[in-house]
Amino acid sequence: MSLPNPAGSRPARPVLRQSFSSSSFIHDHQQYKPPAPAPAIVTQTIGNVLGNLNESPPSAISRNANPISPDPKRVTESGIIHSIFHHQEGLLPQGTPKLVATLFYKSSEPVHPHVHPDSSPNARPGDKLPHPTVPVGSAPTLDIEKIPREPPAPEPEPLDHLYGPYVSQLCLTNFLQIIESLPTPYHRMNTSHRCLDQHDQPRVVEVTFSPPPNPDYLTFADLRKHESIWRFEREWNVEVVLQKESVFRQHKRLVVFDMDSTLIQNEVIDEIAKFIGVEKEVSEITERAMNGELDFSASLKERVSLLKGVPADVFEKLKSVITIAPGARELCKGLKKLGCKLAVLSGGFQPLAEWLAGELGIDYAHANHLEIDPTSQTLTGKLVPTYPIIDANQKRSLLHSIAAENGVDIVQTVAVGDGANDLLMLHAAGLGVAFKAKSKVQLEAPTRLNSESLLDILYLFGLGNDEIQELIA
């Protein structure tokens, strides 16, 4: 049986003591320690330390012990770079996807009608705040009494009233901060921007950023409707149109339009109803149908039945009261110069769709055909059964068929409309724009734009103001 080792026969094993560690990371690194006072300078060398290692067991090392005196006149470079970025990588890898955001300042249609108290000379202490309203495009109805939920949250601070009625530098900075906060997990982002209309106080600014948010965490469809972007739009009185950057964004070949309340400012069936005094009944059905509250085909037949007995030449008389939407002529002219095919796909009626196509140089016109009594030359109140009803499904089918007929890839198509019967074609097109649309449509459409002029759609192609003016000259 072996005897236990006598005490002191070999050095004791070193033990990790609390005195080894420090509560400060900086104090544990020599180059950041304060220089030792003069009387306490240690003159030991490495050789002395190693030579005495076998002579006596190591004693507890004090946290402040330093066998090599630091140079008080110099801070040693550790060679470690502390950064969350890879500094060796200058540019993103070739082929990294990009997103383009086009910011439109809504100068002619302010979201905040009341002047901010800090900047209004007419504001008085006794003035009452306006009643809360529902922003256009944020709910299916603008009537607060019809919304079955809590009252809307207070409006964001109208920052455009403080920093300028245009896309200001601070507005752009705020947008970039929001975009950089969205991707998860975090990664470095490259951004650039262009003022498309003018460099001084621009109304339209194009921002390109890459890479886009990781689709595993935030899809492109969800990004378009993100709450942070919605609040940014409200605060700065702007609209943001997001697109994936590609050669097809800039080079479109087919553009299709709705007619009523898009290319023209009228609802044709309401104008016809004025002739026989049923405007109120027809317009109510029209509004509900465009908001998606009624089946379009059924509502169309119901409205057409109210037109029975109207003279067939009513369309000739209507031409004098039809108002073409601002920018429609210029937009169609510019698109034709770019080589685009144009089509009007309308839930209205064929005679006026064909007339409008002739006025604007549009290649295709598809609308509903009203049945005419050949004897009395009046409307029968029915649709011609041999022609399909131009409803939401038919508009989408026509978009695909016209594109196929002209050898156009669907990603090179644009659809513009304002009603619920336009939603399917807006989602099917490469770029679907709800232009000054009904609230429900603005909520569900891929993109929305509430500009005063249809010509603003050309900015979405990446064209600047000088290029647009050259196209429409």
Length of the chain equals 473
- Tokens at 384, concatenated: 């011609």
Task: Say whether 200 is catalytic.
Answer: no
Among residues 71, 118, 127, 260, the one annotated as catalytic is 260
Question: Which of 366, 361, 332 has its CA nearest to residue 348?
Answer: 366
Among residues 160, 197, 258, 270, the one annotated as catalytic is 258
How many whole angstroms separate alpha carbon 446 and alpha carbon 434?
8
Task: Say whether 363 is catalytic.
Answer: no
Amino acid identity for residue 298 in this structure: A
352 CA to centre of own chain: 35
Question: Which of 391, 390, 373, 389 has its CA nearest to residue 381?
Answer: 373
Look at the block and give the residue holding tokens 């029209």.
286
How many whole angstroms separate alpha carbon 184 and alpha carbon 407?
39
Paired residues of 193 in beta bridges: 207
Catalytic annotation, residues: 258, 260
